[in-house]
Amino acid sequence: MSEAGGGGGGRGCGCRVPQRAPWSLVAATASLCLVLATSVCTARAAPMSREEKQKLGNQVLEMFDHAYGNYMEHAYPADELMPLTCRGRVRGQEPSRGDVDDALGKFSLTLIDSLDTLVVLNKTKEFEDAVRKVLRDVNLDNDVVVSVFETNIRVLGGLLGGHSLAIMLKEKGEYMQWYNDELLQMAKQLGYKLLPAFNTTSGLPYPRINLKFGIRKPEARTGTETDTCTACAGTLILEFAALSRFTGATIFEEYARKALDFLWEKRQRSSNLVGVTINIHTGDWVRKDSGVGAGIDSYYEYLLKAYVLLGDDSFLERFNTHYDAIMRYISQPPLLLDVHIHKPMLNARTWMDSLLAFFPGLQVLKGDIRPAIETHEMLYQVIKKHNFLPEAFTTDFRVHWAQHPLRPEFAESTYFLYKATGDPYYLEVGKTLIENLNKYARVPCGFAAMKDVRTGSHEDRMDSFFLAEMFKYLYLLFADKEDIIFDIEDYIFTTEAHLLPLWLSTTNRSISKKNTTSEYTELDDSNFDWTCPNTQILFPNDPLYAQSIREPLKNVVDKSCPRGIIRVEESFRSGAKPPLRARDFMATNPEHLEILKKMGVSLIHLKDGRVQLVQHAIQAASSIDAEDGLRFMQEMIELSSQQQKEQQLPPRAVQIISHPFFGRVVLTAGPAQFGLDLSKHKETRGFVASSKPYNGCSELTNPEAVMGKIALIQRGQCMFAEKARNIQNAGAIGGIVIDDNEGSSSDTAPLFQMAGDGKDTDDIKIPMLFLFSKEGSIILDAIREHEEVEVLLSDKARDRAAILKGKMIPSYIINSNPEMETEDQPSSEKDSQNQSTEQILSLPQTVDLVDQETPENPLDSHSESSSPADIEEAAGFAPSEQLSSSTESLETTSLDGECTDLDNQLQEQSETEEDSNPNVSWGKKVQPIDSILADWNEDIEAFEMMEKDEL
């Protein structure tokens, strides 16, 4: 998890970048755009008096002195201050905190991280003393394993930021006259120490390196890792390129560019999203969920800022491509919810982490102000409820992880929103942050991280980023231009808020080349916004613009329901987004139907159970509503197209190998995101036994029955991972979850992957597969007729001769090849009359919800859809184009009983229609084995066809 993700380097207010300008002109124009930003954006007078702003600025200075002074008195030269015990945290002398300690390298981390903050806060004398201490005391050759990512953004970035401001002060002529690039030489030394981490075939760096011994040497104690986070590999270009351009040593920028190129090539091509964790050797995605928070955050940030700093438009192309995907799939204003990169219409979890608080600031740099205001306001409401932003919180704004390590991302976004809007509201937000820090986090020896925001308990921790970022952004929020001894607009902020000069864009520019190996040509320039935002357009003579966006959200945490947040757009929309998202649409919701009517969309119930949507633009209430309707229909078409792809999940196999089946019955099963991966490991073979309780949601009462066997469990009442743990603890060697929706079948419902529970699922070692009701009944009926049933769990059906080798069975069983019957899929009727102003969309009314979660423990979940239906669209698409569609729902936890209407809708929505021709039913009838085999001949053929598909 990245400790400090996100940031913003500058804001734009009307500077156009030519589409085909030379790279140097692009960089220079981008730099000019950042320089002009503040003077234009903050032209409006702020109601907060200068005296009050100065008072708050002085309060920030006093708070910094309290934190920095206690570090220097009680901790230096240690890396961090332990504010509760008033001593320094030294690696190896304190109990290990796991990955958190990878930031510590016995190199006086907090001092280096604070260098440029001292200059921003006009403490030039203290800065000069600090630089001398760094040059005299800091050793970068320690035998310690550190995080490449953290060392880059904190130490290398700190040295470069210190160097940038040291040469600025030297040029001014009063301070640092003795300085001769000593910090830059230290940065270069550190850069060379980090380079061995890039010794991989992919170019992605190892996550950790030994400062003294590098990688892979026995004494290095590192180099065996296979995975790294996307942010860890993609948050290097600013520091490494700056180091190259300061020194002329091109190797640093080249290595950082190669890592970024590889990540770009490995993006999921259909969604244009990246996962959280990637294998540094193969490039395979290890964690396939995607968001803008921990693990990915600063990757997106550095693409946009690399364009600004380096002038390479390929970085802007990449950022815009990713940003479009983020706003299409992840952004659900004001929420930002993780999704699956291959199934971006499915939410990957029901909570958000605090690191995403940087994103509104990045949106300001992008120029997309409206969603920045919305998300920031939602975060502020969470802070007002809990005093701080919890490390993670649920979609109904309850605490998920209660810690708060004094993260600065929210303060960062507050600063940039104030610079963009000039709205004094954000000064009041900053004032609240100051008051909360002093009231709840301040201790005699500094500021202590919150162990639990609900109880106010502390943790003996004060991270270096607290001094590097928090006080810098808070001071800049209240400072006037004359309060800062240099022009802050001449610099860009790194993710750790270190300052790099924009003039680097024209220094050693010959090393900045467009990478011809990356597929930039597939991108359409017309899709990209090549201009900086113009505030005269963003805020057209309306000083209340930001307030009008915030107002509907002011009670969202205490009084509103998450699913109802979408109504905000209906009251204050600017035409940028539709008032109703396709993913949220429910045909049984009267409010949704009323919204559709305003947009000119009619709903028709078809005899086959589908719902048909037809849009007539001329019937919309207004031209804006007609535009919203068009957008809604396009979203629904894309949703259906995506879900058509989801139906092509590679299935797994449950093969019955005992008498009288002998491997001839193969049941199509869905995989799990946890446990033994049958696509990479040997199959699991064993007899089956039903668990008690059958839902597997508590400790099994019949462990002797499932010991050494494959347990059968019914779906429902708890998370899939909980079921897996319970049967594993009972000694089961595998598990089969059977759908509790009677009549469901893989014939009519798309396969899906069973989700984890948001926790670490590495403890689950057994394979888990999911069977729909029809397939599960095959096994249940076989148990009733034949007491012992043996099955094989595998990634695909196995050859029967190999399975039954050595067993006494009739030869015709082994040599037989059951006839396969092929049945043509029925094609949907196509509407022969297409009109340019009409769109027709058909979709099912019913939706099958994911395995239930308890409100007390909201964790990751998946949703899957009911049977597919056809889509026809007559405006902007080929008349004969056929798409498969199904609606999906977002699981919503009620807010202390205030959202019962939504709960009822979800309950109604989860009631699926019975199969029109069910072949089996639990506990009612035992189906003859011959009939079972006949029914499944065609299913075996379908399985063999499906296993050729790729996800």
* Range in 334-348, 493-507, 575-589, 866-880 with the lowest mean pLDDT: 866-880
Instruction: Please tell me whether the peptide bond between 562 and the residue prior to it is cis, using omega within 30 degrees of 0.
Output: no
Distance between CA atoms of 37 and 19, rounded to whole angstroms?
A: 21
Instruction: Among 646, 673, 700, give the residue marking a domain's end.
Output: 646
Distance between CA atoms of 692 and 713, rounded to whole angstroms?
A: 8
Q: Catalytic residue, from 409, 489, 853, 870: name it.
A: 409
Distance between CA atoms of 746 and 822, rounded to whole angstroms?
A: 16
**Cβ proximity of 793 and 666 under 8 Å:** no
Task: Determine the distance from the C-alpha atom of residue 59 to the mean position of all C-alpha atoms in its chain, rounded to a whole number.
Answer: 36
455: exposed, middle or buried (Cβ count in 10 Å: 0-12, 13-18, 19+): exposed
Neighbouring residues of 843: CB distance < 8 A, sequence distance ≥ 6: 587, 610, 611, 612, 613, 636, 640, 869, 871, 885, 886, 887
The model's confidence at residue 333, banded by pLDDT at 50, 70 and 90, is confident
Identify which of 773, 792, 588 has the alpha carbon closest to the alpha carbon of residue 678.
Answer: 792
In terms of phi and psi (left: phi > 0; alpha: psi -120 to 50; beta: otherwise), the region of 645 is: alpha
**Cβ proximity of 261 and 205 under 8 Å:** no
Q: For residue 863, tell me if it sits in a domain.
A: no
Q: Are 674 and 636 members of one domain?
A: no
- Considering just the CA atoms, what is the radius of gyration of the chain in Å? 30
Q: For residue 840, tell me if it sits in a domain.
A: no
Task: Tell me: pLDDT of 915 over 50.
Answer: no
Tokens found for residue 778: 């095959």
Which residue has better confidence, 458 or 941? 458
Sign of CA dihedral 83, 86, 91, 96: negative
Task: Tell me: pLDDT of 330 over 60.
Answer: yes
Identify which of 593, 544, 543, 549 has the alpha carbon closest to the alpha carbon of residue 569.
Answer: 549
Task: Tell me: pLDDT of 928 over 90.
Answer: no
Phi, psi at residue 452, to the nearest 5°? -150, 115
Distance between CA atoms of 880 and 934, rounded to whole angstroms?
A: 36
Per DSSP, the three-state class of 587 is coil
The model's confidence at residue 748, banded by pLDDT at 50, 70 and 90, is confident
Distance between CA atoms of 495 and 154, rounded to whole angstroms?
A: 9
Task: Tell me: pLDDT of 426 over 50.
Answer: yes
Apex 660 CA angle, 654 and 663, nearest 5: 35
Sign of CA dihedral 303, 308, 313, 317: positive
User: Residue 633 sits in which domain range?
Assistant: 583-646
Q: Are 679 and 797 members of one domain?
A: yes
Q: What is the structure's pLDDT at 644?
A: 54
Instruction: Among 504, 528, 563, give the residue marking a domain's end.
Output: 504
Q: Are 417 and 492 members of one domain?
A: yes
Q: Are 630 and 656 members of one domain?
A: no
Number of domains within the chain: 3
Q: What is the structure's pLDDT at 607?
A: 58
Where helices occur in 248-368 by DSSP H, the ranges are 251-265, 297-310, 313-325, 359-366
Q: What is the structure's pLDDT at 611?
A: 67
**Cβ proximity of 871 and 534 under 8 Å:** no
Neighbouring residues of 218: CB distance < 8 A, sequence distance ≥ 6: none
* Range in 243-252, 691-700, 857-866 with the lowest mean pLDDT: 857-866
Identify which of 766, 691, 678, 683 has the alpha carbon closest to the alpha carbon of residue 721.
Answer: 766
Distance between CA atoms of 935 and 856, rounded to whole angstroms?
A: 43
Neighbouring residues of 485: CB distance < 8 A, sequence distance ≥ 6: 119, 122, 124, 172
Distance between CA atoms of 285 and 673, rounded to whole angstroms?
A: 13
Give residue-wise pLDDT tens across range 81-135: 999 999 999 998 999 999 999 999 999 999 999 999 999 999 999 999 999 999 9
Task: Tell me: pLDDT of 46 over 60.
Answer: no
Identify which of 654, 663, 710, 704 has the alpha carbon closest to the alpha carbon of residue 687.
Answer: 710
Q: Are 377 and 458 members of one domain?
A: yes
Q: With pLDDT > 70 as the criterion, what percentage of the chain qualifies?
A: 71
Q: For residue 480, tell me if it sits in a domain.
A: yes
Asked if 150 is an active-site residue, the reply is yes
Distance between CA atoms of 153 and 465, rounded to whole angstroms?
A: 10
Average pLDDT on 56-76 reads 98
Q: Are 497 and 449 members of one domain?
A: yes
Q: Are 738 and 760 members of one domain?
A: yes
Q: Catalytic residue, from 80, 253, 297, 870: name it.
A: 297
Identify which of 712, 820, 694 has the alpha carbon closest to the alpha carbon of residue 771.
Answer: 712
Q: For residue 687, tell me if it sits in a domain.
A: yes
Q: Catalytic residue, from 80, 101, 391, 775: name it.
A: 391
Q: For residue 8, tell me if it sits in a domain.
A: no
Task: Tell me: pLDDT of 863 over 80.
Answer: no
Q: For residue 877, tell me if it sits in a domain.
A: no
* Range in 16-25, 125-134, 787-796 with the lowest mean pLDDT: 16-25
Q: What is the structure's pLDDT at 9?
A: 35
Average pLDDT on 375-382 reads 96
CA distances from 420 to 44, 363, 569, 673, 709 (A): 11, 11, 21, 42, 63
Neighbouring residues of 550: CB distance < 8 A, sequence distance ≥ 6: 373, 374, 377, 425
Task: Tell me: pLDDT of 31 over 70.
Answer: no
In terms of phi and psi (left: phi > 0; alpha: psi -120 to 50; beta: otherwise), the region of 389 is: beta
The H helix count followed by the E strand count for the chain is 31, 32
Neighbouring residues of 672: CB distance < 8 A, sequence distance ≥ 6: 720, 724, 753, 754, 767, 768, 769, 770
Instruction: Please tell me whether the peptide bond between 334 and the residue prior to it is cis, using omega within 30 degrees of 0.
Output: yes
Q: Are 283 and 429 members of one domain?
A: yes
Instruction: Among 742, 773, 804, give the residue marking a domain's end.
Output: 804
Q: What is the structure's pLDDT at 609?
A: 56
Q: Catalytic residue, from 150, 368, 584, 790: name it.
A: 150
| Count of CA atoms in the C-beta half-sphere (13 A) of 745 | 19
Average pLDDT on 673-691 reads 87
Q: What is the structure's pLDDT at 134?
A: 98
Q: Are 616 and 657 members of one domain?
A: no
The model's confidence at residue 385, banded by pLDDT at 50, 70 and 90, is very high
Average pLDDT on 10-23 reads 31
Q: What is the largest CA-CA distance in the chain?
A: 98
Mean pLDDT of the chain: 77
Asked if 409 is an active-site residue, the reply is yes
Q: Are 678 and 602 members of one domain?
A: no
Q: What is the DSSP letter of 375?
A: H
Identify which of 896, 397, 373, 345 has the alpha carbon closest to the alpha carbon of residue 585.
Answer: 345
Task: Determine the distance from the C-alpha atom of residue 829 to the mean position of all C-alpha atoms in its chain, rounded to a whole number.
Answer: 40
Query: In which residue are the tokens 């949704």 written?
Result: 592
Residues within the annotated binding site?
495
Q: Are 747 and 610 members of one domain?
A: no
Task: Tell me: pLDDT of 18 over 90.
Answer: no
Q: Say how many residues make up the chain.
A: 951
Neighbours of 930 (CB within 10 A): 9
Apex 128 CA angle, 125 and 132, nearest 5: 140
Q: For residue 26, tell me if it sits in a domain.
A: no
Q: What residues does 613 pair with on adjacent strands?
A: 603, 841
Distance between CA atoms of 278 and 284, rounded to whole angstroms?
A: 6
**Cβ proximity of 665 and 655 under 8 Å:** yes
Give the CATH number for residue 122: 1.50.10.10
Q: Are 449 and 593 members of one domain?
A: no
Average pLDDT on 403-411 reads 98
Residues within the annotated binding site for Ca(2+)?
495
Give the CATH number for residue 686: 3.50.30.30
Q: What is the DSSP letter of 462?
A: B
Task: Tell me: pLDDT of 936 over 60.
Answer: no
The model's confidence at residue 509, banded by pLDDT at 50, 70 and 90, is low
Task: Tell me: pLDDT of 854 over 50.
Answer: no
Tokens found for residue 622: 């207004």
Asked if 265 is an active-site residue, the reply is no
Which residue has better confidence, 629 or 277? 277
Task: Tell me: pLDDT of 645 over 70.
Answer: no
Q: What is the structure's pLDDT at 911?
A: 38
Q: For residue 705, tell me if it sits in a domain.
A: yes
The model's confidence at residue 803, banded by pLDDT at 50, 70 and 90, is low
Asked if 435 is an active-site residue, the reply is no
Identify which of 674, 859, 677, 861 has the alpha carbon closest to the alpha carbon of residue 762.
Answer: 674
Q: What is the DSSP letter of 506?
A: G
